[in-house]
Structure 1
Amino acid sequence: MPNTEPEMAGQTPAVKDIHVAVAVIVRDGRVLIARRPDHVHQGGLLEFPGGKVESGETVQQALVREIAEETGLAVPTNGLQPVIGIRHDYGDKRVFLDVWQTDMARGEPEGREGQPIEWLRPDQLRDDDFPEANRPIIRALRLPHRLAISGRISDPETGLGKLKTALARTSPPLMILRAPELNEEGYRVFAQRAAELCRKAGTGLLVHGAPEHWQAVPGIAGLHLPWREAQRLSERPVPAGAWLGVSCHDAEQLRHAERLGADYALLGAVKATASHPGRPAIGWSAFAELVGGATVPVFALGGLEPADELQARTLGGQGIAGIRYWWG
């Protein structure tokens, strides 16, 4: 994933890779989308504005130029934030998509190259309507920048009370229900009861652990795999309509998550954390390096506070995941 400086945007693309700057232009909660001409590569599919980074250009300069040429919109170079970086081999060409977002575009857009354009909500973006390499971008736009994780649950009744209080205080878009204190059957019963609380609060529930947990709790948002479960799998254990996350600690684990078709990964611990005493922190520098080679959205994990969200995103991460900032 890209960093704020163009020279540090992920890893420097290989010579045979085509470095493409991609713009996610947001206005009133909608994203500007265009349709590719039929005669070009991947013709007829939808795309985000952007184009090849020319020799001597920074990625921000390329984006400002491409946005103006394609849509007539004006964007300041300091109004762009990194989203994700993706390397993809189409067979006939290899590309590095360097994706940046802005909500500071001025003017009314028009398809200056004859392409139809429209504003769509993130939940209207469908994988099959875009080139395959764009799918991680869609995931990044749909995911929040803060992923909540439940705290210690010593017994089901106390745990449900804590969950209800936390949801009343802050209703996160997505929450991982982590309860290692409960046995397998106890966890599934607890998750079924927690799912009702989450539905009422408008929070998507992600069960934590084995794929069987997801099968036991209908109507939830998805499954989060700890590494001990992810390493046993060779294919995606949930359908495309459900979220799939994986906890990772190094580059090879991130690659395995990608092979499983994960929609996001947690990476850490970035800082020392009380929930995993004795686990060494990787620090922000290692986080940035690992994120630079990832092709799925990555949340920073481990001892983090809301103030750390900007740092995580500046380094190319999706945001932060944690317990303390919302559980209380």
Structure 2
Amino acid sequence: MTTVREIHVAVGVIFREGKVLIARRPDHVHQGGLLEFPGGKVEAGETVQQALVREIFEETGLRIAPEALEPVIEVRHDYGDKRVFLDVWEASSAEGIPEGREGQKVRWVEVGKLADSDFPAANRPIIRALRLPRQYAITGAAAGVEAYLEQLEQALHSAGPELCLLRAPELSDDTYAQLAAWSLESCIANNVKLMLHGAPSLLEQFPGACGLHLPWHQARQHSVRPVSGDYLLAVSCHSAEEIAHATQLQADFITLGPVRPTPSHPGASGMGWNRFQELVAASGVPVYALGGLSLPDIAEARSRGGQGVAGISFWWPST
């Protein structure tokens, strides 16, 4: 049996005025004709930052300082005839005017207009990571539905998250549905995207939501993605096995924790940042760190390969 060697590829996401630089792959190469982010193979003896600085200059003429690069995501993908490890980094400062020095067409594109079908399959998690915010706000406890709505309104106005999860496992299905209807109205009015927590049927009731977050006991019941690609799909994970299952479901992102001990899970020890980093490296999807974290922990989560942090305390009003 022939072993297919994994190719380490440095990928650069270059931002300028809210847009990212993309190029079209030449027709004669692997995945030819599709779009790609600039970058190339990491050569022996190079760091990924050195490879990106070299490749981006060779391909586009742009100059980037190695210290300006920040990690985005690591993606491993098997095309059958080729296995790639995409080591993705971003930069918001690059000197020069880009040009296709290898005959490729280059242009700036808004992140919201990046389409999966225009890129090789391995790029799907990259596009998700670029579209997702650094913080994932989760609703906390409240003394009844009316108090829930009052606290939600307060949190939306004071914290202004981009993405919010309506999590209320203590409520009955009917009460949660009532709360979801009112919460969706508030989130839309405040330009906040709302994720629902529970079974896929919730999206049939509330198609205006942006997606569904499956708790693990729901996720384990499915073997294929249970919602259409028009919606985001998230999964709560706590182990490598659960992450593998979420990947099988083609989750757009996951939450992983607890990283630190939390009052909501007394007696449960946190996995720590080192274990979090190990699990993220093997995940291939955007991962939010969860458990005992606050907004200042975003930098640590990012340095460990995570998308950012998810949680309640950093935005939800205390009762």
TM-score range, shorter chain: over 0.9
Match of 1:171 among 157, 160, 183: 160
Which residue matches 2:275?
Answer: 286
Shift of 1:279: 2.2
Secondary structure class of the residue paired with 1:270: coil
Which residue matches 1:86?
Answer: 75
Matched, 1:226 2:212: no
Which residue matches 2:227?
Answer: 238
Which residue matches 1:96?
Answer: 85
Secondary structure class of the residue paired with 1:211: coil
Separation (CA, whole Å) in 2 of partners of 1:271 and 1:178: 20
Matched, 1:72 2:51: no
Match of 2:138 among 129, 139, 149: 149
Secondary structure class of the residue paired with 2:315: helix
Separation (CA, whole Å) in 1 of partners of 2:26 and 2:100: 11
Matched, 1:306 2:299: no
Shift of 1:275: 2.1
Aligned letter for 1:79? A
Where do residues 92-131 of structure 1 align in structure 2 (5 Å cutoff)? 92-131=81-120
Matched, 1:188 2:177: yes
The higher-RCO structure (CA 8 Å, 6+ apart) is 1
Separation (CA, whole Å) in 1 of partners of 2:273 and 2:129: 20
Aligned letter for 2:57? A
1:55-99, CA deviations, whole angstroms, 9 ceiling, x for partnerless residues? 111111100000000000000111111111111111111111110
Secondary structure class of the residue paired with 1:325: coil
Separation (CA, whole Å) in 2 of partners of 1:155 and 1:132: 45
Separation (CA, whole Å) in 1 of partners of 2:70 and 2:292: 24
1:163-207, CA deviations, whole angstroms, 9 ceiling, x for partnerless residues? 011101122111000011211111011101110000000000000
TM-score (norm 2): 0.97
Separation (CA, whole Å) in 1 of partners of 2:167 and 2:198: 8
1:114-164, CA deviations, whole angstroms, 9 ceiling, x for partnerless residues? 111111111100000000000000000000010000010331111001101
Which residue matches 2:237?
Answer: 248
Which residue matches 2:190?
Answer: 201
CA contact (8 A) 1:155 1:182 kept: no
Aligned letter for 1:298? V
Structure 1 unaligned spans of 5+: 1-13
Structure 2 unaligned spans of 5+: none
Kindly tell me the number of residue pairs found equivalent between the two proteins.
315
Separation (CA, whole Å) in 2 of partners of 1:119 and 1:140: 18
Separation (CA, whole Å) in 1 of partners of 2:196 and 2:263: 22
CA contact (8 A) 1:154 1:181 kept: no
TM-score (norm 1): 0.94
Match of 2:11 among 11, 15, 22: 22
Shift of 1:15: 8.2
Aligned letter for 2:13? V
1:15-51, CA deviations, whole angstroms, 9 ceiling, x for partnerless residues? 8101110000011111000000111111100000000
